[in-house]
Structure 1
Amino acid sequence: MAPFRLAWFEIKRFRTPLQRLALAFVVLVPLLYGGLYLWSNWDPYGRLDQIPVAVVNEDRAVTVNGQQVDAGKLFVDELRKDRIFDWHFVDRAEAARGVHDTDYYFQISVPRDFSRKLASGAEATPQRARMLITLDDANGYIVGKMAQTVQASLENKISAAAVSAYFQSVFDNLESLRAGIHQAADGAGQLRDGAATAEQGSATLASGIGDLKAGADELAPGAQQVSDGVSAIANVVVPAANTIADALPSFTQDAATAASAADSLAGAAAQTADTVAGGADSVQSRVTAVGQAHPELQADPGYQELVRVTGQAAGFANQVDASATALRTTTASVNAHAQQLAADAPRLQSEVRGAATQISQLDSGAKQVASGAAQLDDGLGTAATGATSLHDGVAKLSSGAASLASGLSDAETRIPVLSDDQKKTNAATLASPVDVATENLHPAVTYGRGLTPFFFAIALVVFGITAFLILRPISARALASRAGDVTVALAGWLPAATCCVVGGLVLFLVLDVFLGLDPTLAWAMIGLVVLAAAAFTAIAHLFRTWLGGVASAVVLVLLLLQLTACAGTYPYETLPGFFRALHWVLPMTYFVDGLRVTTTGGNTAHLVRDALVLAGFLLVALALTTLVVHREREWTIAKLKPDLSL
């Protein structure tokens, strides 16, 4: 328990209100440091919309297939919808001036050919559009990192505008393709109509051919009926044959009478035979004429049988005629022939009667053949009409096919023919249609080089706290001397200022030689470090001279406020309102800004302004210190025995 008792005795030593306040301050140091720093940097990305950024849209809209493509405007519209940053839509000159003067932290530029290259996505060789983000680490290294952090969101907006422009051009091209396909559809419709007409014509042709077949089917039975028409001839031949057959017995009974009768009979027979022969010849001629008029009948078996029978009938008639003539020549011959005729009479009678029957059937069949031929003719006429319709339909079919071919050919020309390499290249281009390039006007290159201004400033301010823990701010002997107030004030400040300047230059040398700081404006940086060291020690000397031991706490609080309000990391626009109000009234702000210019380059006008402000802080601090020295020459009990001594 002894350690705790001894510790309590140390705490009890703080009896006065000021001493207890100092103890409470020590307890609150972690809160002050951690709380203030976290408060100022609690959500910088949540206040990105406070960071001014210039947007330059120089894009020129293009016309693709009669439709306007303005990708730059689409991108600007996307930015207006979602204010990731505080967008300022300005021209190129204003943007360059603003980035140079830190009115804008960076610049986004849309080039003139942005729409043209995006619209090329609908062509055989698409081109990748380019967009430029211009940074300047002289305005803050972390700003560039913040821009890179939200670059994915920016690229999404860029891609949205790019894809919209690309598909607009593609859909415009599809409209032309649709017109070609529509033309092909019309051609297909004509082809369909022509095919329908051809189908109707072919149906009519088939019907006509059916009629032709039906006529042919009727022609075959008609040919059979022609053979039956021979019976008409039999009507002439049979009576004569019967007369001859009846007369044959009387011829055999009386030869004399037979001779006379035979003579008479021969004359009658000759006459009759002539008539029969003429009729048979006539029938044969008609049958032959029918075959010549209708050649298709000549191959018909019935017709061939008819020709054979009529030929036989004509032959028989001629034989009868010859016999009648011979009968008149000689009675003996007639008698012999009469006997033979009597023997042959039944056969002859049967044949003559059969011929007559066939001739009758032939007459009827010839009429039917004529009727069938007429039907065949009608059927062929119908077939000719159908063939004509088929020809017209085929003509329409040809026209429709031509229209279809033309439309499909036009549509085909809209579809490019690509090689494998072109396909890969085009696919890569369309997958990433926009190349977002980044340039940095004054790059810090490395993280350490970018944050050097902030940590360099911290080092010099911390020196102001620690220096007077060793060095006396004011010498009591100097106060008691006859030296002037200015002399005493400078005498107390110069040792700390000299040490701080030397320490700052050592830090600069180490950073440059061993870490490769390589400042753009080295001599200007050295001069700014000397000026800032003098100013910071003058401010620390002022508070130490004025407030004594309490000054250490005040300077520490001042350090914490400067760390959080100087925007050494994130832009001051992302700071809460309290720290933004302090930003422009604290000296570290100007030292950090000046170091950025000397380290990476930038607006030298800012460097001049920063140096003048720091010089002002130095002169004001020295002037106020002189006043404090004048007051400190009045000795009091509190000065001889202060409540708080460090």
Structure 2
Amino acid sequence: MRNVWKVFVRDVRRIFAVPAAVIIVLASCFVPGLYSWFNVAANLDPYANTGNVPIAVANNDRGTSVNGSELNVGNQTMKALKGNHDLGWRFVNEEQAKNGVESGEYYAAIIIPKDFSADLTSVLQGKFTRPELTFYVNEKVNTLAPRVTQSGANALEQQINESFVSTVSSTVTKTLSKEAGKMNDSLNGTANQLDKKLSDVQSSITTAKNKVGDAQTAIDDSRSTIVEARHSIANILGRSSALSASISTTASSVDSARTNLSSFQQSLNAVASQGQAGFGALSGRIDGTAGAINGNAEEISGKVSASLSTLESANDALGDAIAAMESNSQFADSDALAQAKQQQSDLASQIDVIQQLNDGIPSSIQTSNKQLSDSLNALSKKTNGLSALSANASAKIDANLTGISTQLVALSGTVSGASASLTQLDASLDQFDKTLASTFDVMQQTGEALDQINDSMKRTQADFAVLRASEAWAGVKGLANVDADQVSAFLASPVGLTTREYYPMSNYGTAIAPFFTNLACWAGAFVALTLLRNDADSEGIDHLTPKQAFLGRWLLLMIVAALQGLVIASGNLIIGIQCNVPWAYYLGTIVCSMTYISIAYSLVMMFRHIGMALSVIFLILQVPGAGGMYPIEMMPRFYQMLYPFLPFTYGVEALREAIGGFYHANFWTRLLQTTVFALVFLLLALLCRPALANLNDLFNRELSDTDLINTKRLEIVGSHRNIMITVRKMLADPTWGVGVRRRAEKFERLYPHLIRLGLHLIWLVPVVFFAVMMIVGPGISFLVVWLALIVVVDIALIIIEYIHHNLPQQAHDTTMGAEGLLHSAVTAVIGGGMNAKETH
């Protein structure tokens, strides 16, 4: 380390010994800062000058009429824009706007069409036509201008939308508030009427339910009466059967008398007496039966009349129940209602039929009784006549017997007719009883339906009470008191955005300062390595090794890097960027500057001119790949993969921490990650530089032959190791040199062909890739593969050239013999020592 420090102190003394050198070093500290300062200052707040960006606006709107009022949104927009200075609005006609954009006079143009107002208000007529603004932009004029002008167009569109929504919503809200007042009054009146109507319906349902119960009781009574009436009819029919049998017996006797008239003539008086006695008994029996029939008929008629009255009352109650069911929407179209109506119709028809039969019973019985009485009287007279005329001839007796037989036949028919009438009446009463049973079932269903209706009415009343107490009802009432201005303001901008900024940046220049500061530090590394010699000589220092020389010069470059970082950071702060932690900003800038100059110095010392080119390539990759200007997630996949392996990534983030404010230990973590890159490259340079010395020497000699490129050739201890290796191999195997010379001859024959192939590939690879790109389309992957192949070809050419340089030399060395080579190596080491000499 003593020699390292000696190299550093000697170099510092040399600088201060020459004033011009001091000026050059100071210049190398200030020049890189210009790159950062000018860019940061120019972008400190570019959006404050958007009022100078010319944008043309042409209004062709003809306006429209809305409810008798004229509306021209285009004119209103133009008036609003004249008071808007966010952009440089230019008010021209459509032709001037288009020509101005095409020529580059305006960055963009907005055309308001002639039907803009009509389309905008078409929503009020129910035939909505979306209004559109036409936006013209010239993207050739500037990269960011289209984005700025697009934001202006979006702002104009939003302003028009908000203005329209505010106006329409204000009008609608005022109308709604007015109608809500009317609705509120109407709702209150309707609510009161509904309460009264529900109460009336419930009362009607209760009354109908009571009538249905009464009707069911009456039906039960009527059915009992019908049962009794049918028993009486059965008794009458039984007596009628006995009467018919008596008549048949009498008729048989008369027929026998007529048959045996000749034999009965002698005892005619006896026969007459017997006939008179038989007719007397028959007359008594008929009178008793007729009296019983008349009594029963009157009793039946009375009971049927009472039942008919009850049925008519039940039918009326059923009609009331049907009316109640029809008034309720739940049963308006139900099967129960239809069945009740049909039952009411059938019951009415049965009542009419029974009424007609009941009215005909007394007259039928009276007629039958009269006919029966007349027949008996006639028979009695005939019998009396027979007794009185017992002396008359048999012809008269036969005539009288014939008349008696005829009357008996008539009497039998009368009795049969009365029985048929009673049988018909019994069948009608049976049908009537079934009808009453069905009616009772319908009454039962009707009562259940009325109970359901009553429960529904109670639920409706409860729901209505809940509705009147609900927020919705109160909301309807509250619509009458809505503030139209507040509603229109809300609808125009329904969502309010509250922005809470973490680590706020005061301006755009502050936001980009970390990126441009890192760029300036990398540029400072180029400046320092260009102005200062990269190799340290051994003047005044004994036994200086290559590593000591490397580290001694590196210390000087660290001082220059620290000064560069200090100057760059100071300039940015003077410009006025925001910085929450200034000392951290200074420290971060200095560390970044030292890191980048260490990387560039290591590459240059390992690869010389190629190292400088690699430093440039490294910088190019970091500009888009370190996330300095845009989030890395917006970059292509290739740069996202490179992102963690670029020192800019951590340098930019460290300076952001210093400018915006610390988050935990992020600042120190990023600084540590940045310095890791410096340590890695320094270690690679210390390890790989000796192995690459001959390759670098080859490049220097090849480039010096052009007389166009500055080159430096240094020879230090260790540069003749290949000779010693050759000596050891020849001593171990005397035939080894023959194989080397044979390989050298073979390689020399191939060398021209390999060089031509490499040169052809250098131009052929781009041509092939360009042709493929034209077919499948451009892409970052093509560029990466293209550059990778070019690098591979270049490396192959370097290896070929290196072999071409070393293999013939090695073959020549084998011709000198082991002793000659050993003498040459010792002479070179002793004569050269540690002194380095430079050749151009």
Note whether the superposition's TM-score is higher than 0.5. no
Q: If the length of structure 2 is used for normalisation, what is the TM-score?
A: 0.29
Q: Which has the higher contact order (CA 8 A, sep 6+)?
A: 1
TM-score normalized with structure 1 length: 0.36
